[in-house]
Amino acid sequence: MADKPRYYLTTAIAYPNGPPHIGHAYEAIATDAIARFMRLDGYDVLFLTGTDEHGMKMLQTAGKEKLSPQQLVERKRAAFQGHGGAAQLLERRVHSHNRGATSSRFHRHLAADGSGR
C-alpha cells in the first residue's frame, strides 16, 4: 500500500500579551476544520499552531504591567493553553498535532542548534 499523501497546515502564531479573542477562535476553528477534512480525504495531516512569546508586543505589555517578559509569559500562557473560558472550549475542539511556544525548552534547543531539526 502506498503512503498517504502529506498535507501541512499551520496557523499564525499568536502573541499571548492579552486574552484570546474572536480572531484567535476563528483561525483555530477554521484550520481545525480543514485539517479534519483533509484527514477524512485520506491525507496524513501535520497541523501546527502555537504562540510567539517574544517580541516587542510582549516587552511593551510586560513593561505596562510592571513585570519581566518571562513573568508575563507565565501569567498569560494558561489562557492560550485552554485553562478557562473560550480557550478551554477551543482546546477541546481543536486537534493540533503540534502546539508550540517560542519560550519552550524544545524551541530554545532548536533555535540554539540552528538546524531546525
Residue 93 has what pLDDT? 45
Q: Scan for cell 499568536, then name that residue.
A: 14
Residue 76 has what pLDDT? 78
Q: N- to C-terminal Cα distance for the chain? A: 28
Determine the Cα–Cα distance for residues 27 and 31; give it in Å rounded to an integer.
6
Residue 87 has what pLDDT? 47
Residue 84 has what pLDDT? 46
Enter the pTM of the model: 0.61
Determine the Cα–Cα distance for residues 44 and 38; give it in Å rounded to an integer.
8
Handedness of CA 101, 52, 103, 22 (dihedral sign): negative
Residue 85 has what pLDDT? 46
Query: Of 10, 12, 15, whose CA–CA distance to 32 is shortest?
Result: 10
Q: Scan for cell 485520506, then name that residue.
A: 42
Q: What is the pLDDT along the chain (117 residues), one digit of tens a residue?
A: 468 999 998 888 877 778 778 888 888 888 889 989 999 999 998 888 777 777 888 889 899 999 988 888 888 777 766 544 444 444 444 455 555 555 566 556 655 655 544
